[in-house]
Structure 1
Amino acid sequence: MADLVQYEQRADGVVTLTLDDPKTRNALTGSTMVDELLAAFARIERDPTVRVLVIAAAGKVFSSGGNVNDMQRQIGPDVGGTALRQEYRHGIQRLPLALHALEVPTIAAVNGPAIGAGCDLACMCDVRIAAEEASFAESFVKLGIVPGDGGAWFLPRLIGMARAAEMSFTGDPIDARTAAEWGLVSRVVPAAELLPAAHALAGRIAVNSPDAVRLTKRLLRESQHSRLDTLLELSAAYQSLAHKTPAHAEAVQDFVARRAARKV
């Protein structure tokens, strides 16, 4: 069986994971997709040479979300409510926990429709770049279900409660331009420029101190639920670590040398 997630690492430490399941339009459930993504995340966490992760997709759809064929099984009499709860807890709900906890910055390169759980997968990343053909739909209500993968946590933090409610209650898609206006994506580019733009941004991140970038990401995460005084204490602790890294020492020495050269 072919892998549903393709793993590629560049010399600059940028890893690209490509969703590649054309028969389901990159559905996240009803296959090994989640397990393969989790294995890739674990591999990234173990590899100190990785500096940035880009999540992309093959084909014209970023992800169709949940596999409707698998939903037919779930509504059958052989699957009870308790068993379904455990399926979510030990299935797709592992994905937001692992991706949100990943130390390296993450970029979603959204090439086309990101539907339901596919929309939420993009929202789990730190940054989103969209092709002009991209669209986003928090479409669970269209199938009579709720966001079971953490979308109700991620989406309001990105676009605000009112707009998240509009998307979630109607299930209607928004296009790439609207997503940019609402702050869901950082930029919109022509399809041919999507991966180059994502890799260019990843490269701009990758040139910085990996320790400082990872600690900064952790501070941003903690700031979402911490008091200011608590975050300041954590910032002081992280800063004490950052000051002792070789990258910081090298950056300070380079700055001093350049300033001295300008005075000559």
Structure 2
Amino acid sequence: MTAPDRTDHAPILVETHAAGIITLTLNRPELRNPISDPDLLEALIETLTRLDADKETRVIILTGAGSAFSSGGNLKAMGAAGGLNDPLPARTRMNYKYGIQRLPLLIEAMEVPVVVAVNGPAIGAGLDLALMCDVRIAAQSARFAESFVKVGIVPGDGGAWFLPRVVGFSKACEMALTGDAIDAAEALACGLVSKVVPDAELMEEALRMAHRIAANPTHVVRMTRRLLRQGRGASLDALLETSAAMQALAHATADHVEAVAALLERRAPAFTGR
């Protein structure tokens, strides 16, 4: 395992674990990791793109440095003309399209699963970043808010698409229209996260989850993620057609043969990624 230097000023810290597991840490703790800031956003997009294309990467863990997962936007950069906002509205539209909106499109199209370890507040675009990913595990101190209305703007990064699909329409409306925060226990109850653990155990639990995923054949994990993603918007017949095509690929892998043999022989499988 290679550990990141916590004094490193890089916007994203990368830590490599066994079994093809990579931890990415949003590394702007003094600003509470504002994902809409250009340096953090560009570094995350570049790193995710590279890892998704790397055949050795099997699972990504995403977390934040410091006391927050992500505050979303940088309040100091907001206002009449700051951050993504431009005096010319047409430029503001382009700033979103070629800025923060690239991130949900990238994560939606990825094949490598992303486990989010929510170590503290996930606010606004920070919550939406967590929603874009696959499995969310929260520390007990975590808080979640779809808080755009509190600063007089709308979810500009896809939150209105992701949130109802994760927590249901009524709860999504409650969170987005009030902007109020919920704690980790309520996030677990509404399905926003799948597990809540003591703060000190968060990364250990995220790694356990990542290892459980990485223990399965690489190709079928990637294809299953794609099917789950496509299934949220595809018709049943279209998804079945894609499933049949991917199943043909799965049947042709050596890992499928090994999985069946291991079950019949009552032993642990030895997958090779072929």
**TM class, shorter-chain normalised?**
over 0.9
Would you say the 8 A contact 1:61–1:114 is kept in 2?
yes
Please give the alpha-carbon distance, in whole angstroms, between the structure 2 residues aligned to 1:126 and 1:78: 33
For residues 123-167 of structure 1, what are the alpha-carbon distances to aligned partners after superposition, in whole Å with 9 as ceiling and x for unaligned? 011110000000100000001000000000000000011100000
Gaps of 5+ in 2: 1-7, 268-274
CA-based RMSD of the aligned residues comes to 1.7
Moved more, 247-256 or 100-109: 247-256
For residues 184-243 of structure 1, what are the alpha-carbon distances to aligned partners after superposition, in whole Å with 9 as ceiling and x for unaligned? 000100000000000100000001001010111111111111222221111111100000
Matching residue within 122, 134, 147 for 2:142: 134
Moved more, 227-236 or 202-211: 227-236
Gaps of 5+ in 1: 260-264
Corresponding residue number in structure 2 for 1:13: 20
Aligned-pair CA distance for 1:75: 5.5
Please give the alpha-carbon distance, in whole angstroms, between the structure 1 residues aligned to 2:68 and 2:14: 18
Amino acid at match of 1:225: G
Moved more, 248-257 or 165-174: 248-257
Please give the alpha-carbon distance, in whole angstroms, between the structure 2 residues aligned to 1:243 and 1:234: 14
Corresponding residue number in structure 2 for 1:252: 260
Moved more, 229-238 or 174-183: 229-238
Would you say the 8 A contact 2:231–2:239 is kept in 1?
yes
Corresponding residue number in structure 1 for 2:218: 210
Corresponding residue number in structure 1 for 2:251: 243
Corresponding residue number in structure 2 for 1:33: 40
TM-score (norm 2): 0.91
Matching residue within 86, 93, 113 for 2:94: 86
Corresponding residue number in structure 2 for 1:194: 202
Q: Alignment partner of 1:104: what SS?
A: coil
Would you say the 8 A contact 2:86–2:92 is kept in 1?
no
Corresponding residue number in structure 1 for 2:4: none
Amino acid at match of 2:56: T
Q: Alignment partner of 1:193: what SS?
A: helix
Matching residue within 53, 62, 69 for 2:69: 62
Residue 10 of structure 2 is aligned to residue 3 of structure 1 = yes
- Give percent identity, aligned residues only: 52
Amino acid at match of 1:178: E
Would you say the 8 A contact 2:140–2:196 is kept in 1?
yes
Amino acid at match of 1:102: M
Please give the alpha-carbon distance, in whole angstroms, between the structure 2 residues aligned to 1:223 and 1:160: 16
Runs of 4+ in 1 over 3 A off after TM superposition: 75-78, 256-259
Corresponding residue number in structure 1 for 2:29: 22
Aligned-pair CA distance for 1:254: 2.3
Q: Alignment partner of 1:74: what SS?
A: coil
The alignment of Structure 1 onto Structure 2 pairs a total of residues equal to 259
